[in-house]
């Protein structure tokens, strides 16, 4: 496989970010812990520094430190059935080891519960551990995505209140011109991210979902900054050249696959090589598409966020089926890899129904394997590889791709 040169910048970019995070208190920048779909543009516009415990946990998993830190959290009384992201992040507060030198103490903890109910309880723990105030943006579940005017008013009022809270902590008002500039930068980053995802429609694909997982850090933590725009601009430019010259992410691409659910962070390199060796390119995932939908307009960003939280991130079964069928056609998929994730029960609970519906609609088969996004004690990578191998053999027969 020919490496993507633009991804080499990730190491320095990540190191610089965490250095800035630890320096934020010394530079009079309040630190705000937040989850990935919170309105980070407000935080940057207020000259605060956003820190993501989820990112911290994912890096712990990727650096193969999850077992030790999860065990530390279990020693504090948190059971293994709890999300491994939460256990890893909470565990570092006891073990005091981390690939990012830990996280700086927060001045505020901000969580929005449209993404995951566990996050609220996890962030409550952090609020108690650090003695930091917590703001919850509570988003009612909108059934199958039906419009709910009362819920829109309810969420919008909470976002108005969030601005007042941030202003109180920052000791200054929101600068509207600065806010609009951050939103413009955020929108540029999201548009570049979307261009990157669309590149996977090409045959051969110039990048895989594993490359997308590696490149996620700026779109999560640095939306609204020049850093994210520059990084994704360089990445898209390189991918366009790879498409032009038909440089594949996977040599001798035979199968085009979909990845469902979160990555298995501790196995990224192994799974990427395992699949590439068999000519299998994982070209798209519902997970990475989430960040293509975060852009808001500067005219009324709070209204856009309100609708996103209520409707866009409502991954009900009907929506997922329709979206997966659409992606199957766009990316000319041969098969689906369904990660039944022990840590993310909300997304994994309907995986059997999801696979059945998609196969009935498209004729495309899928394999379900049980694993975990971070904790390697909860699955066997060898068994997982055997399942995928058997699945690829089935695809060879079905598609006549020998």
Topology given in CATH for the domain delimited by 5-177: Rossmann fold (3.40.50)
In CATH terms, the fold of domain 180-399 is: Rossmann fold (3.40.50)
Write down the pLDDT at residue 273.
97
Report the C-alpha gap between 86 and 100 in whole angstroms: 16
pLDDT tops 90 at residue 346: no
What percent of the chain clears pLDDT 90, i.e. is strictly above it? 90
177-233 pLDDT, tens digit per residue, is: 999 999 999 999 999 999 999 999 999 999 999 999 999 999 999 999 999 999 999
Over residues 300-312, the pLDDT tens digits come to 999 999 999 999 8
- Does position 315 have pLDDT exceeding 90, yes or no? no
Q: CA 166, CA 158: separation in Å to the nearest integer?
A: 12
Q: How far is CA 229 from the centre of its chain?
A: 18
Q: Mean of the pLDDT values across residues 131-156?
A: 93
Mean per-residue pLDDT of the chain: 95
Residues of each domain in the chain carrying CATH 3.40.50.11900:
180-399
And the tokens for 268? 């990224």
Residue 402's pLDDT band (cuts 50, 70, 90)? low
Mean predicted confidence (pLDDT) in 312-337: 93
Alpha carbon of residue 298 to chain centroid: 24
pLDDT band at 364 (very low <50, low <70, confident <90, very high): very high
- Model confidence at 383: pLDDT above 80: yes
pLDDT band at 8 (very low <50, low <70, confident <90, very high): very high
For the chain, residues classed under CATH 3.40.50.11890 are 5-177
Per-residue pLDDT band at 399 (split at 50, 70, 90): confident
Among the listed residues 280, 359, 375, 292, the one whose alpha carbon sits nearest the alpha carbon of residue 89? 375
């Amino acid at each position: 496989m020919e490496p993507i040169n633009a991804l080499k910048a990730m190491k320095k970019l990540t190191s610089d970010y965490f250095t800035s995070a630890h320096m934020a208190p010394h530079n009079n920048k309040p630190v705000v812990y937040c989850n990935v779909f919170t309105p980070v543009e407000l935080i940057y516009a207020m000259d605060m520094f956003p820190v993501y415990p989820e990112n911290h946990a994912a890096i712990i998993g990727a650096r193969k430190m999850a077992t030790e830190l999860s065990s530390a959290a279990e020693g504090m009384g948190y059971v293994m059935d709890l999300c491994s992201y939460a256990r890893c992040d909470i565990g570092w507060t006891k073990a005091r080891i981390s690939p990012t030198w830990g996280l700086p103490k927060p001045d505020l903890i901000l969580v929005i519960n449209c993404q995951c109910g566990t996050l609220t309880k996890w962030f409550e723990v952090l609020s108690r551990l650090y003695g930091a105030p917590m703001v919850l943006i509570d988003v009612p579940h909108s059934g199958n995505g039906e419009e709910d005017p009362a819920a829109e008013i309810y969420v919008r009022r909470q976002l108005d209140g969030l601005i007042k809270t941030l202003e109180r902590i920052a000791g200054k008002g929101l600068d509207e011109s600065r806010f609009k500039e951050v939103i413009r930068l955020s929108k540029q980053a999201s548009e570049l991210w979307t261009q990157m995802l669309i590149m996977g429609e090409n045959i051969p694909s110039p990048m895989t979902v594993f490359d997308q997982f590696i490149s996620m850090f700026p779109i999560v933590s640095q939306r609204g900054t020049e850093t994210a725009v520059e990084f994704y601009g360089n990445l898209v430019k390189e991918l366009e050249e790879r498409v032009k010259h038909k440089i594949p992410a996977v040599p001798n691409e035979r199968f085009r696959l979909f990845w469902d659910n979160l990555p298995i962070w501790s196995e990224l390199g192994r799974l990427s090589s395992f699949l590439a060796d068999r000519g299998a390119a994982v070209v798209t995932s519902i997970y990475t598409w989430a960040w293509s939908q975060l852009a808001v307009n500067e005219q009324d960003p709070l209204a856009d966020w309100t609708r996103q939280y209520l409707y866009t991130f409502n991954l009900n079964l009907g929506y997922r089926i329709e979206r997966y069928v659409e992606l199957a056609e766009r990316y000319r998929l041969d098969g689906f890899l369904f990660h039944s994730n022990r840590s993310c029960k909300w997304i994994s609970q309907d995986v059997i129904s999801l696979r059945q519906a998609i196969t009935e609609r498209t004729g495309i088969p899928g394999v379900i394997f049980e694993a975990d996004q971070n904790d390697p004690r909860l699955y066997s990578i060898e068994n997982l590889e055997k399942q995928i191998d058997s699945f690829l053999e089935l695809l060879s027969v079905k598609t006549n791709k020998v």
